[in-house]
Amino acid sequence: VPDVNGDSLDEIAIGAPGEHLPADPETSGRVHLFDGATGSLLRILDSPNPIEIGEFGSEVRGISDVNGNGSGDVIVGAPREEVDGEPDGRVYVFDGQTGELIRSHHSPNSDTNRGIAFFGMALATIPDLDADGVEDYAISTDGETVGFEPGNSGRAYVYSGQSGALIHELSSENPKATGFFGVSLAGVADVNNDGRGEILVGAHGEALPGTEDETGLAYLFDGETGRNLVTLFPPLGLDRGQFGGSVATIEDANEDGVPEILVGAVLEPAGVQFRSGRVYLFLSPFFDRNDLNRDGYLDANDLLLFQRGWHQGIRR
């Protein structure tokens, strides 16, 4: 979490989604904010709408100052809290300095869901999208209904950090039941030279086009327009490998001036190790548009820099 107590050092926020409030046996969840310099507890954040197994604190992200008081703030997901009596999920933005609630969100499409939406399943901060000088953020709901598909096709919503207004509503180009679009999120620094950040979304249950193999996919969306820039396919193409189960970005690895993309496939095999997991590092798809394998398509096999087996893949 960006500095909240004026010592110029970041703080640490830790979610405890199974913790109960004092004198309350319900495991509604809490978030603990610690001083980054000393490790001392600064404050505890509680849900404004605590319920049993609301999972408040299952996702936590620090964000730079969104309310203009000069201190970092905290975003907290509670993906099973109730909205109109249904456990569709809520997300809260707190003032990091005071602990006061700045705003809250629930899904704009909560009335169309069939099943549990899990709004707040994943959170990500994004470099400024709307040119107001304030960092923005994304919230996913991987259990949400899209179109005529039953539950768990998923969406992601992008909000202005300054105002809380909805900027984009993102969904898969090929939604399917149990696609879990939005199971993972990451903000990405500008890759297409428009001066805006981008959004990376994982969908670990989606199928390769034209197949029923639930390999998983990942999508990179343009931050300014919300359109899909690139769909990343798993190089191995293994059914239920959960490619896209985790996504991340890292600083420029090949000195081309743009960030790179990491996608985890937590159930893919590595050598003889069954379901040990893999991580794929992709070059930015906008620096070099060459079709490296000359198959006529710009796809993950053209963008892959290296792959490495790992025990649990990358984690959010």
Q: Over the stretch 194-230, which tens digit does the pLDDT of each residue have? A: 999 999 999 999 998 888 888 899 999 999 999 999 9
Please state, in angstroms and rounded to a whole number, the distance separating the CA atoms of residues 311 and 206.
22
More confident residue, 273 or 3: 3
- Mean pLDDT, residues 120-127: 97
pLDDT greater than 50 at residue 311: no
Domains contained in the chain, CATH given: 107-309 (2.130.10.130)
Amino acid at 258: V
pLDDT at 312: 32
224-246, pLDDT tens digit by residue?
999 999 999 998 888 888 999 99
| Three-class DSSP category at 110 | helix
Among 108-122, 150-164, 286-300, whose mean pLDDT is lowest? 286-300
For residue 288, pLDDT beyond 50: no
Q: Residue 159 CB: number of other CB atoms within 10 A? A: 24
Residue among 281, 199, 206 nearest 241 (CA) = 206
Residues composing the chain? 316
Q: What is the H or E stretch that residue 15 is in? A: strand 12-16
Higher-confidence residue of 144 and 123: namely 123
Report d(CA 213, CA 35) in Å as an integer.
Answer: 46
To the question of pTM greater than 0.75 for the whole model, the response is: yes
Looking at the predicted structure, is the pLDDT value of residue 269 above 80?
A: yes
